[in-house]
Amino acid sequence: MAIYLLPFIAAVAGLALILIILWDAIETILVPRRISRKLRLARVFYMTSWSTWRALARRIAKPSRRESVLGFFAPLSLILLLAVWATGLIFGFSLLQWSAAQLFPGITPRGWNQLLYMSGETFFTLGYGDITPTNGLGRLLSVMESGMGFGFLGTVIGYLPTMYSNFSQREIEITLLDARAGSPPTAAEFLSRMVLCEERGASDEVLRDWERWAAQVLETHISYPLLAYYRSQHSNQNWLAALTMMLDASSLVMTGVNGIDKGQARLTFAMARHALVDITQVFVRTYQPHLINRLPSEDLARIRRRMEHTPLQLPDTLEFEERLRLMRLKYEPYAQSLADFLLVDLPPWIHNEWRKDNWRGGPWDGAIGAQIDTFIADDHF
């Protein structure tokens, strides 16, 4: 009886490993909704690998270099996760083949190294034929593994274009913020530039576009949480900063800014907060009480002075400041917690001094002539 105990345990362990990996891959790649279960292979993998990668990145003093290192995490982690899944499936089938070889002796190789090699070449459908099963159970397992390997690789090939397409769509809108709200974007710049642009009366359309963008971010980042780790092309831009800036701007409009209709701002705020809260819960589930005040009184005063040169007017009352403070409490704890987890910078409400947008700077500007700096710093744009 004891002779069959070890093969039986190996068979159960191999089958359990295969089922766990398949279920985890299905939830990660194919199920388009948030998975609330904490104990998942992919979640444990990302929590462990991201914590290690983030700790190493914190040691890099130069921000641009640190951002570059962080930018490699998402693609490398995806490759490593796929390798972990494939290795687990190969190992699981090798356990099943070993159990079959022990329980039903025949010409089928019984050595562990040979069985592991046979499982690997079967999973990747190499088909060398140098080692083959000869009993019925071994052949059945080989057919199942070959089909599973083919389906696994096909699913992965289909998964990558979909995810990168969603990433591209997200980044297009973030890039548009460069001229609309500065780099990094701020609520003060966004509102002042929006009302001064030639398309007067287009504020509702702009906010409506960002309402739809927030909905798209919610759908894609819940379906593919790995997208949250992908960094933008420029180190002073990121999707969380764009989302937070839009919440800042909508909050100002809703609490008292005159000159912009509040109806669409409410809809944009609701959608953006929905996206922020749901995405934060995927990564951070514990409230962090120690928050930074992103809008001190001197910055609010500077925003008022910035708005004086626009059709917008910011109330100078305690009631307005209290309403804005309560509005900020609805989203800033989530934004700051997620920013701390992802190691990204949230945008200020207003820049301390004038800063070039990304589009204004170029490596040849100095050679072309100093007058270009004066031109682009004025209101010629």
Q: How far apart are CA 130 and CA 164, in angstroms?
A: 39
Q: How far apart are CA 216 and CA 170, in angstroms?
A: 8
By residue range, what is the domain housing residue 50? 2-158
Please check the confidence at residue 85 and state whether its pLDDT lies above 80.
yes
Contacts of the segment 200-205: beta carbons below 8 A, 24+ positions apart: 203/260, 203/261, 203/264, 204/261, 204/263, 204/264
Provide the pLDDT for residue 381: 47
Whether 200 and 344 map to the same domain: the answer is yes
Whether 337 and 189 map to the same domain: the answer is yes
186-196 pLDDT per residue, tens: 998 898 888 76
Q: Are 214 and 267 in contact (CB under 8 A)?
A: no
Beta bridge partners of 313: 258
Whether 201 and 343 map to the same domain: the answer is yes
Q: Per-residue b/e over 66-105, b at no fewer than 16 CB within 10 Å? A: bbebbbebbeebbeebbebbbebbbbbbbbbbbbbbbeee
- What pTM, to 2 d.p., does this model score? 0.85
Whether 188 and 336 map to the same domain: the answer is yes
Nearest of 243, 259, 248 to residue 196 by alpha carbon: 259
Asked if residue 372 is part of any domain, the answer here is: no
Asked if residue 164 is part of any domain, the answer here is: no
Whether 292 and 196 map to the same domain: the answer is yes
292-335 pLDDT per residue, tens: 889 998 999 898 888 887 778 888 888 888 999 999 999 999 99
87-136 pLDDT per residue, tens: 999 999 888 888 887 777 664 555 778 888 888 888 887 777 667 777 77
For the chain, what is the domain count?
A: 2
226-266 pLDDT per residue, tens: 999 999 888 888 999 999 999 999 999 999 877 777 888 99
User: Angle at CA 36, nearest 5°, toward 35 and 38?
Assistant: 105
Please check the confidence at residue 83 and state whether its pLDDT lies above 70.
yes
Beta bridge partners of 258: 313
